[in-house]
Structure formats: C-alpha cells, structure tokens
Amino acid sequence: MDDDRHHLVRPGGALPAALRRARRVGPRGRRGPPAPDGPCGGLSHGGGGRDHPVAHARCPGRGPVVAHVGGRGLRGRRPALHRAPLGPAPHADGGEPRHVGGAGTGAHQLAAHGGVDGARNRLRRDRVADDVSNIVSDILDTTVVGGFSRIGYEWRSRSRGFEPPEALDLRGRRIVVTGPTSGLGLATVRMLAPTGADLVLVGRDAARTTAAAVEIAGSATGRVDTVTADMSDLNAVASACAGMGPVDVIVHNAGALLDSRQLSRQGIEMTVAAHVVGPHLMTRLLLPTLARSGGRVVTVASGGMYAADLPRVAGDRTLEMNEVHWNGTRQYAIAKRAQVTLNEMWAAGEPAVHFAAMHPGWADTPGVKSSLPLFRVVTRPILRTARQGADTIAWLAGVEGIPAPSGSFWCDRETRPIHKSPSTRASDTPDRRDGLWQWVQSVTDPFVN
C-alpha cells in the first residue's frame, strides 16, 4: 500500500502441526473441497489470493444492512440446533429458537456406527444433551454472575465442544480489526493469525499497532497490514477506508470507558464517536466491497447495555450526555445499546452482508483494570481471560455459515436476547430506532457524499 498510514508486516512460518491436524475434514482426515461461493459458500472478493490491490477510490455510502456467509470453518461434535435461512432479522427479543455455535457430524456418519437405529439413538441423545445444555446456559445467564463470568464460558465451551478459532481455514479472506493493540482486540488477532486470513490492524497509536502486528507475525499465515486511524475522528476513518482495498470482514472492537467527558475532533462526545459514529461511517464506506464478497460485520458490544434504555434522539437530543449529567459508565452503556440496535437495523436493510453483535462477558482486560478497578478487585477470581472473552468475536469472523439470522446478538457462540428488563424493552420503539438511524446517518453524511 502506498499510503504511509498502511504498513505490511510479513507473516511467519507455516501453521503449527496441531492446528493443521485440527483443520482436517472428511473421512480419514482428508481435507474437504473448498466451499463454493454464494449464499452457502465461501467468502470471496473476486481476485482472491493474499496480495490485494490498494483501492484509493472513495466508496459510495448506502442506506441501512444480511447475507448468508459461508466458507470453510469450524467443525465440532454436534450440529447446530437450527440453521434458518437468513433474511430480514426478527426482533432479537422475540421468542426465537436458540441458536448455538458448534459443528456437525452428519447422520450418514452416525449410521456408519450402528445403522439407522444407531443413528437415531445418537441423534436423540444429542438432542437431549443440547436441551440440558440450553437449560443450564439459560440459568447461568439469568444469574448474570454465572453467565458473564468464566463459569459461563467454561460450561458452554465444554458442553458444546468448542474448537479453537485457530483451526478455521480463512485463506483468501481479508479481515479488518479495530482496536487490536490490547485486551479483546489483541486476543482476537492472535486467534485469527494462524487461520490464513489477511489481517488489517486499525489502531490510533502507530507504534502500538505496529507492535501488535509484529507480535502476531510469527504465527500469521497471511498478510498483516497496519493502518493508523482514530475511530473517533471521522476524517481519519474516511481516509483509512479510502485506501483499504477489498474487505471480507470488519470487526468493530475499538473503544474505551472514559472517566471524564471529552469531545472528538468533530465535537462529538468521545464515547459515542468511537463506539457508534466512527464504526457506522466505516461500515457505510466499506459496504460496497463487503457486499461484493458476501461479507460480515462483527460489532463488539457489552453486557452493560442491558442496563441502558434506547434514548430518544430527535432535534437537539442525541446519544450524548451533557456536561451536567455525564457519567462514563452510563454513557458507555448507552453507546453499547445503540450499537446493538444499529446492528439489527443494518441487518434489516442490507441483505448482501451478514451483521452480528456480541458481548464478551466479564473479561480481565487492561480496559477493565484502568476503568473499573474496584469491580476488577471484587470479581477477579471469576473474570474471564481476554481470550475467553474474544472467542466469539473470532468465531463470528470466520465460522462457516453463521447459524442464526443476520442481526443476531451473541455471547459464547449462542444467540441471546437484547433485553432483560421491561424498561429497556419499552424504550425500544420504532420511533426511537428511526431517530437513532437518522441522526447517525446525518452525522456521517458529510464524509460519505
């Protein structure tokens, strides 16, 4: 890339033998054929390969966001309970069936170990096991502590037989990850590095972003590029996107919980700018290339959004708390609520791209240490590791055929409701959604048209 904000870090050696073995698919461990392109096939952007040309053309923006994205991915012990065709996303708070991320053993394979009756018995036992696992998972989530802590992750990962994201085969895909220098972002790129994907690390600090790229270069089997851009600065976001080139996946991870009210270069409250407006602009600008590849957008939200109503955004009222009432934790929760709402709205309007939001539970990250020191002291024995928190991020970025509609909200590879209280549910009205969409569109319009 010829823009001085874009840098390439050469990948290291071959994939470790253990991960090569984990990728094997099919009888006797033979690798299966590449998945075809299309609604149930692989991600592609036309040219393929790992050396993508740099496109400096400005990407035109479009309106609101869904697609069935496939490709080679994880395979585990049991099939997902439901693989509904993707389409306009239902309200995630409704009575939808639970979707779980795992992998599959076909009935024909089971039949080989006991005939049709044996296959039926095995499938019946698997369904019972899934039902039990769902019940326990729901109980853990209801207690919050059980669901959000490492207890919930360890139960779900063991009962579902999670395979490591490093076992994904993502060769030929290009994944943009914002906020990759620490915490969940760094854990995400560490997991994606051995998959063969080409990674683009977008960070506001050039030195720290380069350091993260150098760290993962030893395990990377695809290209590693770095881009310097502050996601709260809309000019920087637009400039970065202009030189981004083909993209298959965006992971919106950048952000922070602040202890004082600050404004972005465009005069927007910093939390809202970095978590909501900047990512929205990046999605708009990269939407054409994402649509061509049948791509994905993964948004890293927070369980803290469960405590926040969807604000009324109209006239002078925005997502931003004023100086008198500003509270960092509250503003963060409002921004995360907006992220999850916009995820559903994008999904309802853009059928060529799959949108997913997730929350990582309670993970022990540098951000938690600096922003919530007392919380960390009290909960440290049960906090998740950054890797456990980021597992679903990496999985959503690459798993074959995400087993739920576009616009879904995830935790630990399971879809979760977006509301837990009558108050937040009552606040989530069509008028408020429309107001949020119109506001974020109007703020980003000058950088798109």
Assign 59 a pLDDT band (cuts: 50, 70, 90): very low
Map tokens 């404004």 to a residue.
Answer: 263
Rounded Cα distance, 96 and 135, in Å: 15
Q: How confident is the model at residue 375 (pLDDT cuts 50, 70, 90)?
A: low
Tens digits of residue pLDDT in 179-195: 999 999 999 999 999 99
Average pLDDT over residues 106-132: 56
Choose the catalytic residue: 155, 332, 395, 409. Answer: 332
Is the pLDDT at 449 greater than 60? The verdict is yes
Residue 204 clears pLDDT 80, i.e. is over it: yes
Mean pLDDT in residue range 32-58? 35
364 contacts: CB under 8 Å, gap ≥ 6 = 376, 380, 383, 384, 385, 386
93 — pLDDT class (breaks 50, 70, 90)? very low
Task: Please give the pLDDT value at position 141.
Answer: 59
> What is the mean predicted confidence (pLDDT) over 440-449?
95
Kind and range of the H or E element at 95? none
315: confidence class by pLDDT, cuts 50, 70, 90: confident
When pLDDT is cut at 50, 70 and 90, the band that residue 168 belongs to is very high
Q: Give DSSP secondary structure letters for 357-407.
A: EE---SB--HHHHHH-HHHHHHHGGGPBPHHHHHHHHHHHHH-SS-SS-TT
pLDDT confidence of residue 151: 82
Q: 20 or 350: which carries more pLDDT confidence?
A: 350
**Percent over 70 (pLDDT), the chain:** 64
356: β partners: 298, 408
In the predicted model, is pLDDT for residue 220 greater than 70?
A: yes
- pLDDT bracket for residue 319 (50, 70, 90): very high
pLDDT at 163 over 70: yes
**Is a pLDDT exceeding 60 seen at residue 254?**
yes
What pLDDT is recorded for position 140?
A: 54
Q: Is the pLDDT of residue 83 over 90?
A: no
- Alpha-carbon torsion 408, 297, 294, 347, what sign? positive
CATH 3.40.50.720 fits 168-447, yes or no: yes
Residue 52 has pLDDT above 90, yes or no: no
Looking at residue 117, its pLDDT comes to 65
Portion of the chain with pLDDT greater than 90, in percent = 57
Lowest mean pLDDT among 64-73, 135-144, 191-200: 64-73
Question: Which one is predicted more confidently, 85 or 125?
Answer: 125
Catalytic status, residue 332: yes
pLDDT tens profile 14-34: 444 444 444 433 333 333 333
More confident of the two residues 373 and 163: 163
Quick check: 68 pLDDT over 90? no
State the helix-helix crossing angle for 278-293 and 234-242, rounded to 10 degrees. 20
